[in-house]
Amino acid sequence: MAVWELLSVELLTASLGLGLLVLGLLVPRGQKRGLGYLATLGLLGIAALAFTLREAKGVVWEGYIIDPLGTYFKLLFLFAAVLTCVSSFEYIGRLGHGEGEYYALIIISTLGMMILASAGELITLYLGLELMTISFCILATYRRGDMKSAEAGIKYIILGALSSAILLYGLSLLYGSTGSTFIKDISLVVNSGGVTPLMVVGIIFLLGGFAFKMAAVPFHMWAPDVYEGAPTPVTAFLSVASKAAAFAAFLRVFFVALGDSHSLWAEVIVALTVLSVVVGNLVAIPQKNMKRLLAYSSISQAGYLLLGIVAFSTLGIGAILYHSMLYVFANMGAFMVATVFYNADKSDEIQDYAGLARRSPLLAAVMLFSLLSLAGIPPLAGFVSKFYLFMAVIDQGYIWLAILAVLMSMVSVYYYLQVVKVMYLGDPPPGRPVIEVPLGVQIALACSLATLFLFGIYPTPLTNYAFSSAAAFFH
């Protein structure tokens, strides 16, 4: 396959992003809604292309690998970006500034994630990471004049820079001790038993850097504040796609380059998992703000995804792939509802969701089933994916870890049900009108809901896809 063909997804994404940036300058103020539609359609088209290339395999150069795993993640980013764009039309239109740049930034950060997912070399990986992070810094501060948004932006910039520095330091140590930045070459050195103390330090720095991007405890402190302050669609995108991108890069570095030193870092991952699952779920309980609640829930989801890393097996990777794809739809579903609700009521407080089931049955139903999917309740897709994750760790003999994780996911049902309680059991405040949901968002909501049910009841197609991608990546 020709090089340009292998790279077509990235090339088109880059052109779409840059094209929108230019177009945004040409279109007069107040007539920029079309840019959003264009971005959505463009991303959908690229997603379709990526789907046809899902089996493609090839090496562009040693530092950039196209394989089914990478393409799986690219599809995931594209879906997340599409849903983000759809839920942004109204929200960004009301902000009244920077509509053109907004969609361009979403697409450029998607490009960063794609590079992250395909990087076969450490500098390329870092490049993708920064492309993603810097775009998000701008996006997080998009609510100009809002203190919380500014706070979110600053926090993300400072802590993001810090974590990038830590990661970069880890990468440099890895380079220093192996003499190469290529993942393939590093794996050869590690393979021949050459784990030096210097490399161990490097691995620790790398773990810290990645854990920050995944928002795993104890590197999670930025997440609730940034999630709360950033514009809701951006929060949604940040919580699903950037987390998945971090996992994609993690898989490449730790499973391929450092796979043979697995015993060195396995225990650290177990600790991260336990902390994320326990802290994320317990701290979510007292939250009063919808976005903060979802932030802590997304911290705990990082813990569940880490279960797949703990398993260190094809089954584990397959489970990560399956879970992260459905996490996109469940979390985006919840955030889309939050966005529509914010547009109508200008509030993110959970108590204001009272009686949502009466004001808009669709919104309440999507929120209900998205949260239940996050909690892992059948017949929703989240159940199947958690089933795979638990199976993967039990298969490796970590029964205690599985019991802990299952019990904690039952704890999560408690706080998700608190939201459900407000929506279904509460009465709407008097005088609140029925919430009108724009058609585009209705379609997006219906699609995520259908996806959650479809892959919960008949998981086979996605299971086969995820597991075959995992098998092609890791034996």
Partner 1 sequence: MSFPLLTAILLAPVVGIILILFIPEREQLTIKITAAVATFVSLVLSIYAYVAYDQAAGGLQFLEDRSWIPALGVNYSVGVDGISLPMVLLTALVIFTGVFASWDMTHRVKEFFLFLLMLVTGVFGVFISRDLFFFYLFFEVAVIPMYLLIGIWGSTRKEYAAMKLTLYLLVGSAFALIGIIALYLYAARQLGYLTFDIQTLATVQYDIGFQKFVFFLFLIGFGVLVPIWPLHLWSPDGHVAAPTAVSMLHAGVLMKLGAYGLIRVGVFFLPEGAKFWAPLIAVLCIVNVVYGAMIAMVQRDLKFVIGYSSVSHMGYVLLGIAALNTLSLSGAVTQMFAHGIMTALFFALVGNIYHKAHTREIALFGGLAHQMPRVAAGFLIGGLASLGLPGLHNFVAEFLIFLGAFTREQELLGGVLTYRALAILAILGIVITATYVLRVVQRTFFGPRKEAWDHLEDAHGVEMVPIVVLCATLILFGLFPSLMGDLIYTGVAPLVAKLEAARTIGGIF
Taking CB under 8 A as the criterion, which residues in 429-458 touch partner 1?
458
Tokens standing for 207?
Answer: 């773990």
Is 14 a binding residue for partner 1 by CB under 8 A? The answer is: no
**Shortest Cβ 442–partner 1 spacing (Å):** 16
| Amino acid symbol at 9 | V
Taking CB under 8 A as the criterion, which residues in 389-408 touch partner 1?
390-391, 394-395, 399, 402-403, 406-407
- Select from 38-46, 74-82, 130-138, 414-422 the region that touches partner 1 (CB under 8 A): 414-422
Is 48 a binding residue for partner 1 by CB under 8 A? The answer is: no
The region that residue 388 occupies, defined by phi over 0 for left and psi between -120 and 50 for alpha, beta otherwise, is alpha
Measured from the CB atom, the residue of 105 and 284 that comes closer to partner 1 is 284
Binder of partner 1 out of 58, 259, 378, 438 (CB under 8 A): 378
**257 in Cβ contact with 190 (< 8 Å):** yes
Among candidate residues 239, 350, 382, the one with its CA nearest the CA of residue 298? 239
Is 175 a binding residue for partner 1 by CB under 8 A? The answer is: no
Is 415 a binding residue for partner 1 by CB under 8 A? The answer is: no
In angstroms, the CA 112 to CA 428 distance is 43
Number of other residues whose CB lies within 10 A of the CB of residue 264 = 15
Measured from the CB atom, the residue of 48 and 410 that comes closer to partner 1 is 410
**Shortest Cβ 409–partner 1 spacing (Å):** 8
Measured from the CB atom, the residue of 422 and 441 that comes closer to partner 1 is 422
Is 409 a binding residue for partner 1 by CB under 8 A? The answer is: yes
Binder of partner 1 out of 15, 48, 176, 414 (CB under 8 A): 414
**214 in Cβ contact with 129 (< 8 Å):** no
Taking CB under 8 A as the criterion, which residues in 199-228 touch partner 1?
none
**Could you tell me how far CA 382 lies from the centroid of its own chain?**
15
Cβ within 8 Å of residue 451, ≥6 positions away: 326, 329, 381
Q: Cis peptide leading into 197, omega within 30 of 0? A: no
| Amino acid symbol at 453 | F
Is 424 a binding residue for partner 1 by CB under 8 A? The answer is: yes
Measured from the CB atom, the residue of 186 and 452 that comes closer to partner 1 is 452
Largest distance between two CA atoms of the chain: 72
**Shortest Cβ 372–partner 1 spacing (Å):** 6
In angstroms, the CA 29 to CA 26 distance is 9
Is 459 a binding residue for partner 1 by CB under 8 A? The answer is: yes
Among candidate residues 201, 470, 453, the one with its CA nearest the CA of residue 318? 470
Among candidate residues 329, 240, 452, 325, the one with its CA nearest the CA of residue 54? 325
In the three-class reduction of DSSP (H, G, I as helix; E, B as strand; rest coil), residue 59 is classed as strand
Measured from the CB atom, the residue of 82 and 423 that comes closer to partner 1 is 423
**Shortest Cβ 432–partner 1 spacing (Å):** 17
Binder of partner 1 out of 421, 434, 436, 450 (CB under 8 A): 421
Measured from the CB atom, the residue of 61 and 414 that comes closer to partner 1 is 414
**Shortest Cβ 6–partner 1 spacing (Å):** 28
**Could you tell me how far CA 240 lies from the centroid of its own chain?**
2
Residue 380: HSE in the Cβ half-sphere, 13 Å Cα cutoff? 22
Count residues near partner 1 (CB under 8 A): 31
Is 297 a binding residue for partner 1 by CB under 8 A? The answer is: no
Binder of partner 1 out of 81, 131, 319, 357 (CB under 8 A): 357
Measured from the CB atom, the residue of 21 and 391 that comes closer to partner 1 is 391
Residue 201 Cα distances to 70, 216, 222, 372, angstroms: 28, 20, 24, 40
| Whole-number CA gyration radius for the chain | 21
In angstroms, the CA 160 to CA 136 distance is 10
- Select from 1-9, 44-52, 175-183, 375-383 the region that touches partner 1 (CB under 8 A): 375-383
Is 377 a binding residue for partner 1 by CB under 8 A? The answer is: yes
- Select from 166-174, 244-252, 417-425, 441-449 the region that touches partner 1 (CB under 8 A): 417-425
Interface residues with partner 1 (CB under 8 A) are 357, 372, 377-379, 383, 387, 390-391, 394-395, 399, 402-403, 406-407, 409-410, 413-414, 417, 420-421, 424-425, 458-460, 463-464, 467
